[in-house]
Amino acid sequence: MNYDLYRTFYYVATYKSFTRAAAALFTSQPAVSRAVQKLEAELGCLLFVRAPSGVECTREGEQLYLYVSAAHNCLLKGEDELSRSADPGSGHIYIGATVTALYGLLLGHLDDFHKQHPAVRYKISTGSTNHVIEMLKNGAVDLAFVSTPCRAAKPLRTAILGEFHDILIAGQGYAALSGRPLRLEELARYPLVCLRQGMQLREFIDDFFAARGLPVSVDIELDGADRIVPLVGRGLGLGFVPQRMAQEALDRGEVFRVALEEELPPRQICMLTDPRRPRTQASRAFVHAIRGTFEAKDT
């Protein structure tokens, strides 16, 4: 195994650019191209395709990147532990989080922890719940913060940190809907902005409506909950979104909450850890702080 080839692959996949990868590796772009071509030949598959802003991973490239980034981060964590003392006030914390968990809970507590430990550095990777769980299982992150529904099998440990609510919002072009609670079956009359299938909020909504014998027809599908509010605000449809994520737009009057005769039940934000893998001193201190704040319940 040629580790240099995988190192080159890691930087190209991270920066999505041969030029930026070459700069990070202090080498030339042709050398990076040759290394990628050699790795592709050894693996027997294409790892990158051209994109308007550089390159993007193929499906095979994305699968490989998941493992290579995990190995890269494990090496960095090892260096970090050896080069620093056992002082939890320094070091690195490697976090994976869904957008909902990041904005709904994590940012505020990162701010508090950073004030107490200003020397700690963070590497935060976002993605779907399934992707974040895979990063934790592969050692790419120390901690994972996700929203339910999630399926984290043992040996992963799940600590429930708190609840939040998803609400239905609309732009001012749908002001007529502000006068009364809407029946669930009436939603079929309006365009719906929602996450794509396979993401937890979409799964939650699909299951909620299916249990009541109602279909869900989505007009605009997105891959991030943080993108729902801007599109709804522009009048492209109604959208379900975590209330905290919509709060600023609600306060500014860009969108309003559409009342439902039957509101969605609350969901939970959870912290996942893998007891099989060592964590940095800083990560252990952060877990202790989180648990102390929420009196987290393990499941």
Give tens-digit pLDDT for 144-195. Answer: 999 888 878 888 999 999 899 999 999 999 999 988 899 999 998 999 999 8
Looking at residue 67, its pLDDT comes to 86
Does the domain formed by 88-163+268-298 have CATH 3.40.190.10? yes
Give tens-digit pLDDT for 125-148. Answer: 888 888 899 889 888 889 999 988
Give tens-digit pLDDT for 12-45. Answer: 999 999 999 999 899 999 999 999 999 999 999 9
Looking at residue 200, its pLDDT comes to 84
The CATH architecture to which 166-265 belongs is: 3-Layer(aba) Sandwich (3.40)
The CATH 1.10.10.10 portion of the chain extends over 3-57
Looking at residue 263, its pLDDT comes to 92
**What is the Cα–Cα distance from 106 to 104, expressed in whole angstroms?**
7
Looking at residue 87, its pLDDT comes to 54
Q: Which of 32-41, 269-278, 281-290 has the highest mean pLDDT?
A: 32-41
pLDDT mean across residues, the chain: 88
Strand partners, 270: 146, 160
Q: Which of 5-9, 176-180, 275-279 has the highest mean pLDDT?
A: 5-9
What is the SS3 assignment for 177? helix
Which pLDDT band holds residue 82 (cuts at 50, 70, 90)?
low
**pLDDT > 70? residue 88:** no
What is the SS3 assignment for 289? helix
Looking at residue 128, its pLDDT comes to 83
Specify the residue for token string 């550095």. 121
Looking at residue 127, its pLDDT comes to 82
pTM over 0.85? The answer is no
b/e 98-107 (16+ beta carbons within 10 angstroms → b): bbbbbbbbbe
* CATH value of 3-57 in 1.10.10.10, 1.10.760.10, 2.140.10.10, 3.40.50.2300: 1.10.10.10
Q: What sign has the CA pseudo-torsion 180, 181, 184, 187?
A: positive
